[in-house]
Each structure stands twice: as structure tokens, then as C-alpha cells.
């Protein structure tokens, strides 16, 4: 046991290589520029989109918590399914990282899990030759149709190292994480196999830093044993990819190993402790009127039931819709500014209006907007004597989109739900008005538009007026929980169909059911309470929601 602990200590100390900048005399520009740490590797470094949508996380998504974000950028460019060969030969992967590399930057590389695959087949063709030598094999790639010279695993690692150094950046080689395979309850099978050994040999030969994550991870996991590790750090259904806890464990081991590398230039950027918990939750803000808002009693906007349809472990959903508001008044009352104060890069905003924008622009409520998407304006004097410049519906929606994009977040536009009345079995749509204008803004700004109005109207028509009327307990605009749930489910369908990044944060079925049950238990049916606001007769061409 003492010998084994001594071996791990020797590995961490990095006695075989140094972690020094390629340029030991940085220029003034280098010393003032904020450097970037680039991570390259396979799905154990970054799984899928890096959002944990399947419960799996790579350690590269957690490692940023161990660095001072004010001093160092961390970019995870790893891609699932790649080997040291395919990541190198793919024109959009390593080549793009190299283009971005500048003197003073860093690259941590981890490959091996997929290098043992077939060298040539028609499915993945990602295998490399064994070892670290200069052996090659010429093939006509059955997958790409191109002639290719395939090299050893070590040759590809050496190319990453050499090309990183050539850009004045610092390479660090990391051995692959172990698979969740055990020989005994507290003894894992050796992690990394030949690939861990070869990675170390290449790092030693090229005189660059080496982190033996394979051995470090095995040592940490064996302390807890197979029964704990399976389920906590790895999913029971997968022996390769880690959970959020597993990713955080490996990230902590990498950070600790960096701190123990003699003279490593990454050390000054390390924090004493992680800057937060993992995974870092995204935020979703839902913006709209009373058909979306929480409301009270048996009047429910769809922004309430949709909360339980998202994975609350990975995203926090805020229903900030407010009854009676239009695209104009939501902005003027400062409600939008409050969201902007909380919005962060990587967050999402679902925003849609229309019901109240058709109101007069100069009545007591002063909530109507001008029609269209242009820059036309009209000055109006409000009841308090102040003069307001009113813009078009499209102008307000464009501002919302541009504000969100400026924050590094993702805006998604949606059209209003249809009313609960029909004519000749058909639901009225806003395809030629607010829906049309929303689509025009979305297309011009390059953002997603969900035509909720048309999708729900199609469902209403299939259900028939007798069923649809049961969704509207007091008027033709506001739904009960059942109607709101149908609308929320339709929004989810729209997000999935459009393959929106937001869809990856939706809860899995079992999880969603549990969350919905807890949420619905807090709401009871019944008649609308006395004094509950409801919409009156809808003026022609002026849809309204209170």
C-alpha cells in the first residue's frame, strides 16, 4: 500500500515533465491578455452538448469552477465519439482550436477511450495504431471515402503537443478516466490500460506536463467501493460516462494535480476552492401576459405547468409573465429591466405577446402598440399628462431579442395561444398579424420562433368546441389547469421539433411526472373567485388578455 501511494505521489508531482510556457519571456501584450485554457478530448471530457441532458457529464464541464474566471477563460472543445485520430483529422475540431491559440494559452488533452476501435469500417473508422512510434497504415476510408494515412495513438498526441508549442501555448497531457469495471468490491480494474501508459510516455518524450488521471481516479473511487461508485459517480447503465458527481470528482483531481506540477504556469489561475456547485444551473425566464402568467384560483397560464416539464436539477424556470401586459407595457413598467439584471450568458428567455397589443394606444390602460414591425412611432399623451412615444409591436419584440442576445443568452419567440371560441369548427389564428410579425422578427434576428398559436389551434379543432370550452372556465381567453397543461405540452413539442438547445433541459418522463404531481398538488380546481379578472367580448381585430 505504501508503494502504491508513493507511486501516485510521484505521478502527481510530475517528475517526468515540466509545465512551463513555450515562451518563457512573454511580451507585454501576452502578460496583459487574458489567456484561455482549451480542453480537447472525447465524451468523458464533454458529453453531448455539455448540458447533462442524458444524466452524463464530462469533467471538462466542471473544471472551470476551479479556475479564476476573471483571470483565465476555459473553453471545452471536447467532442463525444472522437479518438485522437478523428479529432485531429476533422477539419472543424483541432484545426479550429489551433486557429484560436495564442501565446500564453493552454491545452489539456485526454484521448484513448475510442482509439481502440476499428481503423477502417463504414460506421466510425476512428481507431489508431497501437503504441507511440512512427508506424503507419494506408487505407481508403470506408466512412469518408478518402485515402488516409493512419498513425499510432502516440503520434497523434505528439502532433497536438508540437502544434500547441508552435503557437506559443502550453500543452498538458492527461490520461483517460477509468471505466466503472471492478474485479472486487473495492478493487477496480486498472484504469486506462495501454493508453494511459502511452500518454505518459509521449508526455515524457516531448517533455511536457502529464496528469495520470487514470490512476488518480482509480485511487479515489476504490476508497468508496463499487456499490457507492455505481450510481453516484457512474450511471448503472453505463460504465464509461460519469454523472455530475463523477465529473466533479475528476475535475477536482485534475485541478489538484495541476497544483502539484512543479512550475506549472496554470497554478496562479487556480482557486483555493471551487467557485460554485456543479452542475451550474441555467435559467429560463418566461415572459408574456395572463395567458402565460401564474394568476390565481382556477385561472392558470401555461407558464405554470411547464415548470415541472423541465429538469429542475439543471435549469431554474421563472415565470415572469404578468397579466394585462403588452409588448409595450412590459417594457415601460420596468419588468423587462428586472429580468435583464438577472439574466446571464447561457440562459434562455421565452417571450411572446399579442393578446393586449391590439388595444387602443391612448386609452386609460395605454397598452396598445402600433401594428407591424417597422420603425413608425406615434406620440400619445397619457392620463397623467406625460407624453410617450409608442412603437410598433415588432419594434418592442426586436428590442427584447437584441437585449437577450447582448447578454449572451438565447431568446425564443412564441405566438399567443388561441381563444376558446370557434367558428364552424375552426379556431381563429393570428397568422396574418402578430404571428406573422413575430416570425419576421425571428427570421431577421436569426432566432427560434414557436408558432404556439397555430399548434394549439390545430389541437383545438381536433378536440372540438365542447371539449375546448371546458378549458376556459370564465371567458374565452384564460385557461384552467387542464387547458394550461395542454398549451405547455404543445410548447414543449415545439421546442423538441425545432431541436432547440432549450429542449435538452426538459425532464425525463419519470422525473417530469414526479415534479408535475408535486406542483399540481398545490392547485385545486373550482370556480373563479369573486372579482377574478376576465376578458370581456373581444373587439374585432383587438385581442386582449387581462
pLDDT of residue 52: 85
**CATH homologous superfamily, domain 282-520:** SGNH hydrolase (3.40.50.1110)
How far is Cα 198 from Cα 156, in angstroms, rounded to an integer? 11
- Where are the chain's structural domains? 31-269, 282-520
Whether pLDDT at 380 is above 70:
yes
Are 31-269 and 282-520 equal in CATH topology? yes
List the beta bridge partners of residue 392.
Answer: 370
Torsion, CA 480, CA 481, CA 484, CA 488, rounded to 10: 180
Instruction: List the catalytic residue out of 83, 478, 500, 504.
Output: 478
CA 524 to chain centre: 34
Which one of 61, 105, 115, 475 is the catalytic residue? 475
Flag whether pLDDT at 250 surpasses 90: yes
The alpha-helical segments, DSSP class H, found in 308-408 are 327-332, 335-342, 393-406
Report yes or no: 41 and 78 within 8 Å, Cβ to Cβ: yes
Cell numbers for 452 = 404556439
Which grid cell is 338?
A: 428586472
Pairing of the two strands 282-287 and 315-319: parallel
Residues contacting residue 198 through CB under 8 Å, at least 6 positions apart: 131, 132, 153, 154, 157
| pLDDT-above-90 percentage for the chain | 80
- pLDDT (tens digit, 9 = 90+) per residue, 15-25? 344 565 544 44
* Residue 16, pLDDT score: 42
Q: Right CATH number for 31-269 from 3.40.50.720, 3.40.50.1110, 3.40.720.10, 3.20.20.70?
A: 3.40.50.1110
Query: Is 63's pLDDT higher than 90?
Result: yes
Measured in degrees and rounded to the nearest 5, phi and psi for residue 148 equal -145, 145
Query: Are 92 and 155 spatial neighbours (Cβ–Cβ below 8 Å)?
Result: no
Known catalytic residue at 311: no
Q: Give dist(CA 184, CA 158) in Å, integer.
A: 36
Q: What is the C-alpha separation between 99 and 108, in angstroms, rounded? A: 16
CA distance readout (Å), 354 to 34, 284, 444, 492, 493: 44, 21, 19, 20, 21
In angstroms, the CA 130 to CA 197 distance is 12
Confidence class of residue 545 from pLDDT cuts 50, 70 and 90?
Answer: very low
| Active-site annotation holds for 147 | no
List pLDDT tens digits, range 441-487. Answer: 999 999 999 999 999 999 999 999 999 999 999 899 999 999 999 99
pLDDT at 183 over 80: yes
Coil, strand, or helix at residue 515? Answer: helix
Judged against a pLDDT cut of 60, whether residue 537 lies above it is answered with no
Mean pLDDT, residues 42-49: 94
pLDDT digits 0-9 by tens, 381-415: 988 889 999 999 999 999 999 999 999 999 999 99
Instruction: Name the H helices within 129-188.
Output: 153-166
Q: Residue 508's pLDDT is what?
A: 75
Task: Select which of 290, 326, 327, 359 is catalytic.
Answer: 290
Mean pLDDT of 213-242: 95
For residue 257, the surrounding DSSP H or E stretch is helix 244-259
What is the per-residue pLDDT for 313? 84
pLDDT score of 527 more than 90: no
Grid coordinates belonging to 490? 404543445
Rounded CA-CA distance 211/216 in Å is 9
CB of 394 within 8 A of CB of 375? Answer: no
User: Catalytic site residue 241?
Assistant: no
DSSP 8-state symbol, 8: H
CA–CA distance, 483 with 367 (Å, rounded to integer): 26
- In angstroms and rounded to an integer, the radius of gyration of the C-alpha atoms of the chain is 28
The arithmetic mean of pLDDT across residues 247-258, rounded, is 98
- pLDDT at site 120: 96
Name the H helices within 326-383.
327-332, 335-342
Strand, coil or helix: 364:
coil
Q: What is the mean pLDDT of residues 129-157?
A: 97
pLDDT digits (tens, 9 = 90+) for 323-342: 999 999 999 999 999 999 99
CA atoms within 13 A on the CB side of 141: 17
Amino acid at each position: 500500500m505504501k508503494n502504491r501511494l508513493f507511486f501516485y505521489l510521484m505521478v502527481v508531482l510530475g517528475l517526468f515533465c515540466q509545465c512551463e510556457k513555450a515562451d518563457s519571456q512573454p511580451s507585454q501584450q501576452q502578460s496583459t491578455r487574458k489567456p484561455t485554457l482549451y480542453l480537447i478530448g472525447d465524451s468523458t471530457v464533454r458529453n453531448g452538448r455539455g448540458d447533462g441532458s442524458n444524466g452524463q457529464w464530462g469533467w471538462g464541464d466542471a473544471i472551470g469552477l476551479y479556475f479564476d474566471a476573471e483571470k483565465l477563460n476555459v473553453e471545452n472543445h471536447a467532442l463525444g465519439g472522437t479518438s485522437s485520430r478523428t479529432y485531429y483529422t476533422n477539419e472543424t475540431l483541432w484545426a479550429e482550436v489551433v486557429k484560436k491559440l495564442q501565446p500564453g494559452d493552454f491545452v489539456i488533452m485526454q484521448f484513448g477511450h475510442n482509439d481502440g476501435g476499428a481503423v477502417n469500417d463504414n460506421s466510425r473508422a476512428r481507431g489508431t495504431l497501437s503504441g507511440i512510434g512512427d508506424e503507419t497504415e494506408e487505407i481508403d476510408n470506408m466512412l469518408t471515402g478518402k485515402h488516409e494515412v493512419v498513425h499510432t495513438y502516440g503520434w497523434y498526441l505528439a502532433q497536438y503537443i508540437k502544434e500547441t508549442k508552435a503557437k506559443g501555448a502550453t500543452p498538458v497531457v492527461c490520461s483517460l478516466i477509468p471505466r466503472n469495471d471492478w474485479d472486487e468490491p473495492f478493487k477496480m480494474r486498472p484504469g486506462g490500460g495501454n493508453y494511459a501508459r502511452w500518454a505518459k510516455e509521449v508526455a515524457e518524450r516531448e517533455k511536457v506536463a502529464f496528469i495520470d488521471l487514470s490512476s488518480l481516479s482509480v485511487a479515489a473511487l476504490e476508497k468508496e467501493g463499487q456499490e457507492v461508485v455505481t450510481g453516484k459517480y457512474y450511471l448503472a447503465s453505463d460504465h464509461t460516462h460519469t454523472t455530475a458527481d463523477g465529473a466533479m470528482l475528476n475535475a477536482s483531481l485534475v485541478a489538484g494535480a495541476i497544483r502539484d506540477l512543479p512550475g506549472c504556469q496554470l497554478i496562479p489561475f487556480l482557486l483555493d476552492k471551487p467557485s460554485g456547485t456543479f452542475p451550474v444551473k441555467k435559467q429560463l425566464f418566461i415572459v408574456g401576459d395572463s395567458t402565460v402568467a401564474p394568476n390565481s384560483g382556477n385561472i392558470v397560464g401555461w407558464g405554470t405547468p411547464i415548470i415541472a416539464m423541465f429538469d429542475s436539477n439543471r435549469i431554474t424556470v421563472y415565470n415572469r409573465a404578468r397579466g394585462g401586459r403588452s409588448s409595450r407595457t412590459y417594457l415601460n413598467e420596468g419588468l423587462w429591466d428586472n429580468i435583464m439584471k438577472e439574466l446571464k450568458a447561457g440562459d434562455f428567455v421565452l417571450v411572446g405577446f399579442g393578446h393586449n397589443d391590439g388595444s387602443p394606444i391612448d386609452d386609460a390602460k395605454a397598452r396598445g402598440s402600433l401594428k407591424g414591425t417597422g420603425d413608425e412611432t406615434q406620440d400619445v399623451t397619457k392620463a397623467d399628462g406625460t407624453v410617450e412615444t409608442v412603437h410598433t409591436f415588432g419594434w418592442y419584440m426586436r428590442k427584447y431579442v437584441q437585449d437577450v442576445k447582448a447578454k449572451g443568452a438565447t431568446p425564443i419567440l412564441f405566438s399567443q395561444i388561441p381563444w376558446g371560441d370557434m367558428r364552424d369548427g375552426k379556431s381563429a389564428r393570428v397568422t396574418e398579424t402578430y404571428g406573422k410579425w413575430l416570425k419576421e422578427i425571428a427570421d431577421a434576428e436569426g432566432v427560434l420562433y414557436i408558432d404556439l398559436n397555430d399548434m394549439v389551434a390545430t389541437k383545438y379543432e381536433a378536440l372540438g368546441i365542447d371539449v375546448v370550452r371546458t378549458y376556459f372556465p370564465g371567458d374565452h381567453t384564460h385557461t384552467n389547469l387542464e387547458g394550461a397543461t395542454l398549451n405547455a405540452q404543445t410548447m414543449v413539442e415545439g421546442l423538441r421539433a425545432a431541436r432547440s438547445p432549450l429542449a435538452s433541459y426538459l425532464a425525463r418522463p419519470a422525473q417530469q411526472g414526479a415534479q408535475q404531481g408535486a406542483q399540481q398538488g398545490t392547485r385545486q380546481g373550482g370556480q373563479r373567485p369573486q372579482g377574478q379578472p376576465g376578458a370581456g367580448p373581444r373587439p374585432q381585430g383587438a385581442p386582449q388578455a387581462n
